[in-house]
Structure 1
Amino acid sequence: MSVIRHLAAPIPTQLPELKPDTYLSETQWQVLLALIDAVIPSIVVGSEAEDQEKSQLRISQSQYVEAYERTKRLMKQPPDCDKFRQYLEARPLDNPRFMRLIKRTIQRVPDGTRKQLGAVLSIIATRVGSLAGTGYYTPIQEQPVHVREAIIQSWNQSWLTVWPIIGKSILKMAKVSFAQTDPLFMELIGYKEAPDDYRPGPSFRFDFLQFEAGPEVETVETDVVVVGSGCGGAVCAKVLAEAGHGVVVVDKGYYFPTSRLPMATEAANEFLYEGNGMVQSADGSVTIVAGSCWGGGGSINWSVSLQPQGFVRQEWADQGLGFFTTQEFQHCLDRVCDFMGVSDANIRHNHRANVILNGSKKLGWSAKPCPQNTGGAEHYCGNCTLGCSSSEKQGPTVSWLPAAANAGARFIEGFEASEVLFDKKNGSKQAVGVLGTWISRDKDGNVHTPESGRVTRQVRVKAKKVIVACGTLHSPLLLMRSGLKNPHIGKNLHLHPVGQMNASFDEDIKGWEGGILTSVCTTFENLDGKGHGVKLEPSSMVPYMFLYEHPWRNALQWKLDALRCRQMDNFIAISRDRDSGRVYPDPDTGRPVIDYTPSAFDRKHILAGLIALAKLCYIEGAAEIWPFVQSVPSFVRRRRRRRQSRPVADPTADSDSDSEASSGSSGNESEDDNIDQGINDPDFAAWLRTLERAGVSFPGTTFTSAHQMGTCRMGASASRGVVGPDGAAWEARDLYVADASVFPSASGVNPMITNMAIADWVARGVSRDLKKARSRPTL
């Protein structure tokens, strides 16, 4: 181990140079930037705008005064008048960092999607197309900001699905880029990409295999090759190496030591996440977050270490997989938890975690702390999403892979496996290794420079056993590329689709500080009596991650809401989805295409979860609540004046007058005002009915997934799954899958521990087979 000391901030990770922006025409860029400009424009008082209505949104002096007075009333630490004016007047398009991120975002969009976007932009750039798409004969790029803003508002309400989808894409791009790059916004909310007391923890020095340039295929030999260094592959590597077997772990991602963590958000998306953090389902209804670096999802997850519940284990056992109700499976679970020091003993809960715990107690619901894989450390860290610098989280790069290395395992980073290799003698397939492309770092150890200036080499890893553990999105694609035909490959995709909610409180929270997810409410996890429902959890508070879907009604509203984000909490209703989708390769690029839309059955549960989250926020004193449902207004708590005749226990109690009316408020008082109605508050109850009537469906609501499972499902026979109860592929000998893709259905809990326990089981079986083969007499 080596410790990097005396760093005041992480060493910056450079981004690749931008490619020329010729993938959109000049006119298409003009239209796109005109739309983005209307989402978060420069906002000025009318008398100061002069003739700049093309690039500035004008508001009246009274609107400005009202906005500032409301901001001062609602914020514990409001900006002064000058800073507030600067914040409103700032135009993101004038910020070079913002513009670079917009161009990088478009550059990352898959070619097919980008062509579709370009086609729409070209159409509405014409007068006829503009009339059809916007209702105006003048093309959108020639319109003033307030007209462009009105067009986006109309798109959000359109009955033609194409326009809400286009509108959402523009909104998301603008909000994400703004929340990552605006310096004054960061200053006013007090967000820093690394803490003031930054001290990186110890980093393990991985000795990655290196290869010289050459036309021939380089060959490496070992007992077991493991494809993927995440939660499944890392566990397999440790178990097998410590059992005395030769192990080589390969991964397309690269390793980043703690001295480079947490990364700036743009770099984190580039180097730590699948698809540069931009993966979406084919229809755009679900945004998928998946790790793609050395250590996989275990390097960027949130430490949650929940074991699968009895009803899930029984469901899997009832499918012919009796192992899941055996004590041996429990031993596997306990073994992986013990190795990482999983515990809930020293957790310091932050505000939103306590909203879950305390609110549930007040409502009579079940809630508990979430055990963390932090070796018993407090780990009051909100940065794990961008890479954890403390080394307290015992993920793959901190615990499992170093243990494997100490036992003799070898590693190759930057290796993209193209196929599993087979010996096809006697009419059957026997896995004998993997073939892939290795791309080195540059001479300075960087990975942002063009691949043309780095060594690229075809590498074959010959092995007696092959373990595929490259994740739910990529494991099935590798099997498909390798010629396997089992009809379950790529099917049975579960995502735990999530509905989100923001809530603002009368406290200065700074929610990006403290543990990301340390509590859970389980009352609603079995809504159908068959183990399907939702868990209520806190979520990551990196600003762009909880503001990108924060409802946008108009530019001023969103900019003012964003300014209050230091008093916000973000919560998720995470569903155990009954219904599934599939993943398959893009015919042009080979990258995963995710065919998944949350079903009506699962959306009903997500809606129940959002309603329950709103109740938790209300009972814990939320001043305003925003479900991420476009058609539902926020709920604003009414502060009622207390009657003088009302007996009060505390003569110093607050007696402020009403501040703001909430949605659905009648304004009438009754004798019931003499008691604390709690969630029966008529205003709140009326608003909940509005939310319930609206429901959650795309495109008015979009969903998120951080858990992918099931695409190489385990089954009792080849007709029921891709692999058998021991993780061995039905179609080929000596080939195994050991990641969350083997889950028979959704786990219902954050899947890390289930994934690791299955990998532990698979690896021990592989080890037994290897030892038996060694002990057989040779003829």
Structure 2
Amino acid sequence: MDKVPSVTTSAPAPSPLPPLSTADPLTAEQWRTFLAIADAVVPSIVSEGDPSSTIPVMATGFDDVVGTLARGMPKSAGADAANDQDRTALARDYLAESASSNPGFKPTAWRMLAQMPADARKQLTGVLNLLNSRPGSLLFTGYATPIADQPVHVREAIVQSWNNARLQLFRQLGRSFSVLSKVCWLKSSQTLNRIVDCPDVPVDRRLEKSFDFEFIQIPANQGSAPEVLETDVVIVGSGCGGAVCAKNLAEAGHKVIVVDKGYHWSTDHFPMGPSEALEHLHMEGGSLLSEDNCAFTWAGQAWGGGGVINWAVCLQTQGFVRKEWAEKDGLPFFTSAEYQSCLDRVCNYMGASTEGINHNKANAYLLEGARKLGWAHNPCPINSGARPHWCGYCGYGCSSSIKQGTVVTWLPDAARAGAKFIEGFDVEKMLFEDRNGMKTAVGVQGTWTQRTPNTTPSPDAAKRPVIIKASRVILSAGTMQSPLVLLRSGINNPQLGRNLHIHPVIFMIGVYDEDVKSWEGPIVTAVVQEFENLDGKGHGAKIENMFMVPNSFLGVPLWTGGLDHKMVVAKLPKMIAYFSLCRDRDGGQVYPDPADGRTRFRYTTSTFDREHILQGLIGAAKIHYVNGAREIICPIPGLPVFRRDDAAASSGPDANTDAGDPGINDPAFQAWLGQLRARGLPHGDTFFGSAHQMGTCRMSATPRRGVVDPHGKVWGTDGLFVADASVFPSASGVNPMVTNMAISDWISRGVSKGIGRAKAAGNVVASL
């Protein structure tokens, strides 16, 4: 077993955010209204105060609230909370804090609003303008007085009325404002992390120096003429697909250049803070929303792609999925011994195994709950090389390099084999020539943007057009971007961008009597598979554990009121959140924003897939119950919190007193499950999360059914391949990293053989 890096007391190096946009996203009046609503969602709560800016609570009730918060804090909560008096003072500070009282709240909101697509921001500013007017205020709030002029408790009641309105338009309005306000507060709060006792970095942060990547620097002051480079293979994207291709092709002796729009961040910057991680390591600042605003997905965008931010899970493609791809999609490779060799090769290379795993409480409870219920469950292999990986912050970057991801293994080995790299390279299109009537890829064209070491480019950073000529082009820009690059390159295929699968999830939260601190320890080391094949055709749901760093998770609980929400999120140290992850049968579509070309997507979770998620949620609730959760919370509007009453469970009118503990047969729990089933996951009111994207350049046996052929080559072209999760014929049903890597391993080895055959024939551009 390799040596585990020692614990360091040093803080991560700064990862400065880019400057705020000079163009204010809102007018002064719009800001006034937005901040007034935010302060209703996250209000200042005091015993006595000005009702225009605070919510006063009667002294007796306020003392009870403060006492509840102080008693619920972890014993070590806050550096200033060593005794009861300090804990009480911290509780009062937390309650008194409003959204806008934090200096960082408005800049955080500014950044998020400025990053919104133009049409979404136009809708938001239109609503703010209406709320600034007396007629609009009357229409939206029932009061002629503009909402910004109302006292806080009235503003809070207005947002609550939106959330509970009969018209979906108002419910979506309430959700939009409450989510925006919560997320910006979570990123900027000066008291939250102290009250839940969650440090900004792991208490046992380990640091191992990252590989010293060298990036090609383009001469900046050369006018508008493009810089021209030449290579055998250019790979667009350094994520889980591109990194595997780079290593394989470089080690096979080919000249390789890997380009990426993102930038490299060394391990001394990890884990980043939430704002920095979302800005530097994710697409669109971590806020990729579906067209109907009912789903979001996290997608990596940095040097190393999703391999930098994923949670280390290494599940191989399951047999029923492989059978579907082979038989239904006409791709026999997926049931071949060769594909299994690809799976094993990438897993062995990364040290993917269950050895060295020390489950945290959340994952241990998941396995134990499934055992108690007699359900199928297993530990999850992770790519830690059998070394202990006690890090719950890996979604913001792994400082220890124990996670054997793209920037620790594949890309360094590619560099050692001679591959060259360019960061900050935004590919505009592929370049083609007509050769013997065939559209043949001969390179890529894009723009390189310079940065100084470990900082992001400034608005006046040097830029330079670049052309890279190559005999083979591999597109590994990811599911959300690869189809857009092909569209910009003139590839006309009706399947392009379609068949988007995202593994939509909903969460089930258990609140326990004891502190569990789910942000400590490995994120996902267990999976429950009881519900993974509900239709007999490989569609269903898995149950896994959630990334529980406050700023990433606490946007999940629904907002029902200012005080209630503060009390709920303060329970984070006692929370475990499992998600029901669906292998979605029905897909969506990626498309370019008509205003600026950025990635947009249409995705509505189908009735079929929602039912499977619901079954997984019911399973997650039962796991929480048998493990002793005091409360069970599901973020479905209209569904109450389940609160356990052990005395009632064993002595109620329907209880069997001779049977002892009724377990999940507790009548109150069964009644709550009945409410959950009856409520379901109503379309338009349920918000789905996602961290997986697949299928938008799907592999197919014929050009009519997909974008690439069984070897990964784009139909109707020569020399152009796609190697990332976008080529999945359908959803993988498991965390897609290993499937992506195995397919990319196959494709890149085929590309290498094709180049070898072409060179032997004296024709470097010959096709496979």
Residue number in structure 1 paired with 2:725:
740
1:719-753 Cα offsets, whole Å, 9 max, x none, are 11111110011121010000000000000000000
Q: Does structure 1 residue 456 correspond to structure 2 residue 463?
A: yes
1:503 Cα deviation from its structure 2 partner: 1.3
| 2:268 counterpart residue number | 259
- Give the Cα separation in 2 of the matches to 1:513 and 1:741: 33
What is the CA deviation profile of residues 683-728 of structure 1, one whole-angstrom value per residue up to 9, with x for unaligned ones? 1100111111111134322001111000000000111111111001
1:178 aligns with 2:185: yes
**Contact in 2 for aligned 1:270/1:276 (Cα 8 Å):** yes
Q: Map residues 534-545 of structure 1 onto 2, 5 A cutoff.
A: 534-545=541-552
Per-residue deviation at 1:777? 4.5
CA–CA distance in 2 between the matches of 1:752 and 1:22?
Answer: 39
- Is residue 460 of structure 2 the alignment partner of residue 475 of structure 1? no
How far apart in 2 are the matches of 1:243 and 1:296?
23
Q: 2:661 & 2:6 partners in 1: Cα distance?
A: 55
Matched, 1:371 2:381: yes
**Aligned counterpart, 1:113:** 120
State the TM-score, normalizing by the size of structure 2.
0.95
**Which moved further from structure 2: 462-471 or 68-77?**
68-77
Alignment-mate amino acid for residue 346 of structure 1 = G
Residues 613-692 of structure 1 correspond to what in structure 2 (within 5 A)?
Answer: 613-640=620-647, 668=653, 670-672=655-657, 675-692=660-677
Name the structure 1 match of 2:239. Answer: 230
Hey, what's the Cα distance between the residues in 2 that align with 1:604 and 1:310?
Answer: 23
The 1:777/1:81 distance shift into structure 2, 3 A limit, reads: closer
On the 8 A contact 2:294/2:685 being kept in 1, the answer is no
Matched, 1:13 2:15: yes
Distance 1:298 1:584 in 2: 24
- Return the alpha-carbon distance in structure 2 between the equivalents of residues 117 and 301 of structure 1: 32
Q: What is the CA–CA distance in structure 2 between the aligned matches of 1:572 and 1:418, rounded to whole Å?
A: 37
Q: Tell me how far 1:20 sits from its aligned partner.
A: 3.9
Matched, 1:419 2:421: no
For the residues of structure 2 that align with 1:479 and 1:671, how far apart are their CA atoms? 64
Structure 1 contact 423–429 (Cα < 8 Å) conserved: yes
1:268 matched residue in structure 2: 277
Is the contact between residue 348 and residue 378 of structure 1 (CA under 8 Å) also seen in structure 2?
Answer: yes
Q: In the aligned structure 2, how far is the partner of 1:379 from the partner of 1:669?
A: 46
Matches within 5 A, 1:447-596: 447-452=455-460, 454-596=461-603
Q: What is aligned with 1:358? A: 368
1:155-180 Cα distance to aligned partner (Å, 9 max, x none): 11122222222211211122222222
SS of the counterpart of 1:202?
coil
- Aligned residue type for 2:59: Q
- The answer for the alignment partner of 1:393 in structure 2 is 403
Cα distance change, pair 44–673 in 1 and its aligned pair in 2 (3 A): farther
Structure 1, unmatched stretches of 5+, are 647-666
Contact preservation (8 Å) 1:4, 1:259: no
Q: Structure 1 residue 133: deviation in Å? A: 0.6
Distance 1:275 1:335, change over 3 A: same
- Is 1:611 aligned with 2:596? no
Q: Match for residue 653 of structure 1? A: none
Residue 84 of structure 2: aligned partner: none
Summarize the alignment of residues 283-432 of structure 1 with structure 2, pairs less than 5 Å apart.
283-318=292-327, 319-432=329-442
Is this contact kept in 1: 2:7–2:204, CA < 8 A?
A: no
Q: Deviations over 1:278-319 (max 9, x none)?
A: 111111111110000000001000000000110000000012
Taking the aligned partners of 1:159 and 1:621, their CA distance within structure 2 comes to 36
User: SS at the partner of 2:110?
Assistant: helix
**Corresponding residue for 2:59?**
61
Letter in 1 for 2:542: K
Give the CA deviation at 1:592.
Answer: 1.3
Partner of residue 253 from structure 2, selected from 241, 244, 247: 244
Picking from 198, 210, 213, the partner of 1:203 is 210
Per-residue CA shift, 1:37-79, capped at 9, x if unaligned? 000110012xx21xx1111012222322332444456555487
Code of the aligned partner of 1:64: F
Alignment of 1:77-226 (within 5 A): 77=75, 80-213=87-220, 214=222, 215-226=224-235
What SS does the corresponding residue of 1:722 show, helix, strand or coil? coil
Deviation at 1:19, TM superposition (A): 2.5
**Partner amino acid for 1:15?**
L
The answer on 1:38 being equivalent to 2:45 is no
Q: Does residue 1:754 correspond to 2:761, yes or no?
A: no
- Identical aligned pairs, as a percentage? 48
Task: Give the aligned residue type for 2:534.
Answer: L
The answer to whether the 8 A contact 1:631-1:700 is kept is: no
Supply the AA of the counterpart residue of 1:771.
G
Moved more, 184-193 or 364-373: 184-193
Paired residue type of 1:373: N
Per mean C-alpha deviation after superposition, the further-off stretch among 742-751 and 689-698 is 689-698
Gaps of 5+ in 2: 82-86
Could you tell me how far 1:375 is from its partner in structure 2? 1.0
Q: Distance in 2 between matches of 1:600 and 1:760?
A: 36
Residue 606 of structure 1 and its aligned partner are, at CA, apart by 0.8
Q: Report if aligned partners of 1:74, 1:506 keep a CA contact under 8 Å in 2.
A: no
RMSD of aligned alpha carbons = 1.8
Instruction: Kindly indicate whether the alpha-carbon contact (under 8 Å) linking 1:416 and 1:438 is maintained by their aligned counterparts in 2.
Output: yes
The separation in 1 between residues aligned to 2:143 and 2:177, in whole angstroms, is 19
SS in 2 for 1:248: strand
* 1:75–1:567 Cα contact (<8 Å) kept: no
- Counterpart for residue 768 of structure 1: 753
Q: Is the 8 A contact 2:241 2:723 kept in 1?
A: yes
Q: Which secondary structure state, in structure 2, belongs to the residue aligned with residue 574 of structure 1?
A: strand
Match of 1:659 in 2: none
Equivalent residue of 1:514, what SS?
coil
Deviates more, 1:76-85 or 1:189-198: 76-85
Q: Distance in 2 between matches of 1:74 and 1:188?
A: 9
